[in-house]
Structure 1
């Protein structure tokens, strides 16, 4: 590598580092104050860069917001894939540990989902697509049961999870679980994850009750005309 190539590589590395600092600062402040309540100036100050550099890299606050969405979705996907890849022998606390490491991401999701906006459709679509992939891998590894309606199941699970984030204040009121708490102990969220794991692993309905309800929603066969 000649001196000009080395200089170019250093410049690219500096630019990449600056973008990461800006993005991480935005995720933190968006999570604390909301997107509407966070200015580009405050993000630049938090990242230790100029506001002009934020504009240079991301174009606008909307562009920066999109970059934050993409990064958060990617981190959630990687975390889920790591848990699912362990198969039936996965550590039940590994999900909680990932949850704890991702508290800034959860704060960001809570704020951005609560504020809404056109970007939410893309955010949810990306999460559903990722969930389809790692749920299919979980089936292959033997840790997740197959489903007759795999995509619909994924959509329901993603929306349930995001709904719990949006209603985090009610979760805190009723179960004393605070998704936004700075607590370092992942077991603080056990009152939420315990029942969730019970539902996922043991189910809710008895076999007889499930069969009766499933029959109501089953699609009619060729021999059975809908009433």
Structure 2
């Protein structure tokens, strides 16, 4: 995330909220805690955002737009750069929002699926159901972050922090770069599924 005293009070509040919401969840992060972390008064926080719900709305919008920007930059470059600490925090925030089961989290997942469909349309990948393809791919990728505690226990290092995060991502790249089914196995599975639909 950004650092330095040049941040506006609004930006400092938003960053503090994203960090605390990601760590504790929305319900457990109070207005007072967020204001204290941002170095402002609770009154100034309410002046800028109105309420915790208003602040969360602003955080959701900011986090989603920043993650999309970072992912688009990766797609355009076609290569990994240094892992941005801001990205890790935003990713934790978005995962926490989904885990909270809020309408906002659902809306963000839907938006992510729509971005996935747009990405799929620009590739040579084939799918009879692009919506399902993008949705399931998104859910599979998010599953790594939802199960951070379980992965951390199994890997012996925090999967949400470097170097455990890099180890997890490296494994996912290895998985996505090699087929787990032969073409014949895939065809057989698809035909079996078609028969179930028709029965």
Calculate the TM-score normalised by the size of structure 2: 0.83
1:125-136 equivalences in 2 (<5 Å)? 125-136=110-121
Alignment size in residue pairs:
193
In structure 2, what is the Cα distance between the partners aligned to 1:201 and 1:66? Answer: 36
Shift in Å at residue 61 of structure 1? 0.6
Match of 1:97 among 83, 93, 103: 83
- The structure number with the bigger radius of gyration is 1
The residue that corresponds to 2:103 in the other structure is 118
CA RMSD of aligned residues (A): 2.5
Tell me if structure 2 keeps the 8 A contact 1:103–1:179: no
1:1-227 equivalences in 2 (<5 Å)? 17-86=8-77, 90-91=78-79, 93-94=80-81, 97-98=83-84, 100-137=85-122, 139=123, 145-181=125-161, 183=162, 185=163, 188-218=164-194, 226-227=198-199
Shift in Å at residue 153 of structure 1? 0.8
SS of residue in 2 equivalent to 1:97: coil
In structure 2, what is the Cα distance between the partners aligned to 1:19 and 1:219? Answer: 56
Shift in Å at residue 154 of structure 1? 0.7
Structure 1 stretches of 5 or more lacking a match?
1-15
SS of residue in 2 equivalent to 1:195: helix
Tell me if structure 2 keeps the 8 A contact 1:107–1:179: no
Tell me if structure 2 keeps the 8 A contact 1:109–1:165: no
In structure 2, what is the Cα distance between the partners aligned to 1:77 and 1:47? Answer: 25
SS of residue in 2 equivalent to 1:202: coil
Given the superposition, is the C-alpha separation of residues 73 and 135 from structure 1 closer, same or farther in structure 2, using an over 3 Å criterion? Answer: farther
Shift in Å at residue 147 of structure 1? 2.6
Q: Which runs of 4+ in 1 moved over 6 A?
A: none
Structure 2 stretches of 5 or more lacking a match?
1-6
SS of residue in 2 equivalent to 1:128: helix
